[in-house]
Amino acid sequence: MQIGEGIRQTFDVIRANKMRSFLTMLGINFGVGSLIAISIVGLAFRTSVTEEMGKYGSQLIWVQPNHNVYVSGEKRTLLNSDDINFFNKFLPGLEYRSSILNLGTNVRYRDKTEHVQIYGVGPDYFNIFSVGIKEGRIFTDEDIKIHRHVCIVRPDIAESLFGSENPLLKKVTVFNKKYTVIGLTEKLERGFFNDGSDNSTVFVPIPFTAKRVWGTGSIKYWVYLMKFSTLENTDRAINRIDSYLTNKYGLLRHEKRFKIRKMDSYIQITDRVLNIISTLILVIAAISLVVGGLGIMNIMLVTVTERTREIGIRMAVGARSSDILTQFII
């Protein structure tokens, strides 16, 4: 059978069965298109998450209570100022450090009141999480040392409280105390990993939230973050912190009272999760492709069944099996 004749007959069949031809092409396009689209979306998602987590670096660690060893309602062992002084003095390569302690409360400016998350942080917090300052400044060590009543606001709360006014040097009421706004952050871009704050957060020096939670006694630290200059310093610090805390506080139910987290561990966990998601995406795409293929197979089966008489006549007049096969493949 001539190829040209087969192509001509193919177009004749397409014109004679327009709806069937359309559905066949739709099945092909749907299957292939789904495979490509889902694969692209999955790759983009994976790249975005990996890049965002990677920007914090492998040198970031944080220390917090090991909640797995405590029973419900049991008092946690927390870091204190002596522990922080040890970290600052005996951990080489420590570039940034900050505690984080947040709680919900109301912030008032004149006759306006907003419920917000108050984040008690140290000066280095803004470097650790790359929080940009649009106007004003961040906290200083002196702010922390003398318990200066200052705060930094996110854009949304600034707009809610101050409208079009410049928020800098405005006085807001937090914890029934007057705080001076010294900074306005850049708008937070939503991502897969950040500090957990949002564009309605107000930042204050850590002593204020710590005393609000723990009372007027010595300050306790729920989570303490540290970022080091090199991976070598990071690994050395983890071992030293672990040894120090274990020797000082001992074990509880044969387990350590504190967990030392490293950003690498979260990256590895995220990578495993993303591998599972990628596999599921490919399975879904493959199913779409199979469904499209089944549709095509059914259309071809119907086509062959309808033309059984024609096939018999062609075979009777001398057509070879290869000629018949070529006709249907084309």
Q: What is the 3-state secondary structure (H, E, C) of 215-245?
A: CCCCCEECEEEEEECCHHHHHHHHHHHHHHH
Token pair of 197 as six digits: 């704050």
Can you tell me the distance from the alpha carbon of 54 to that of 46, in angstroms, rounded to the nearest whole number?
A: 12
CA nearest neighbour of 105 among 184, 24, 23, 200: 200
* One-letter identity of residue 135: E
Token pair of 152 as six digits: 């930094």
Query: Number of structural domains, the chain?
Result: 1
pLDDT at 171: 96
User: Per the domain annotation, does 102 fall within a domain?
Assistant: yes
pTM above threshold 0.95? no
pLDDT at 23: 72
CA nearest neighbour of 196 among 205, 204, 188: 188
HSE-CB for 65 with a 13 A CA cutoff: 16
pLDDT at 193: 54
pLDDT at 246: 95
Domain that residue 76 falls in:
60-262
Can you tell me the distance from the alpha carbon of 311 to that of 320, in angstroms, rounded to the nearest whole number?
A: 10
**CB 84, CB 224: distance < 8 Å:** yes
pLDDT at 238: 95
User: Per the domain annotation, does 51 fall within a domain?
Assistant: no
**CB 115, CB 104: distance < 8 Å:** yes
User: Per the domain annotation, does 279 fall within a domain?
Assistant: no
Q: What is the mean pLDDT of the chain?
A: 83
Sign for the CA dihedral angle at 83, 84, 85, 87 comes to positive
Q: Is 180 helix (H, G, I), strand (E, B) or coil?
A: strand
- List, for the chain, all residue ranges whose pLDDT scores fall below the cut of 70: 1-14, 16-17, 20, 52-56, 190-197, 213-218, 306, 326-330
User: Per the domain annotation, does 10 fall within a domain?
Assistant: no
User: Per the domain annotation, does 138 fall within a domain?
Assistant: yes
pLDDT at 10: 65
User: Per the domain annotation, does 53 fall within a domain?
Assistant: no
Can you tell me the distance from the alpha carbon of 91 to that of 278, in angstroms, rounded to the nearest whole number?
A: 40
User: Per the domain annotation, does 212 fall within a domain?
Assistant: yes
pLDDT at 329: 64
93: left (phi over 0), alpha (psi -120 to 50) or beta: left
* Residue 226: other Cβ atoms inside 10 A: 26
User: Per the domain annotation, does 219 fall within a domain?
Assistant: yes
* One-letter identity of residue 131: V
pLDDT at 65: 93
Can you tell me the distance from the alpha carbon of 119 to that of 124, in angstroms, rounded to the nearest whole number?
A: 13
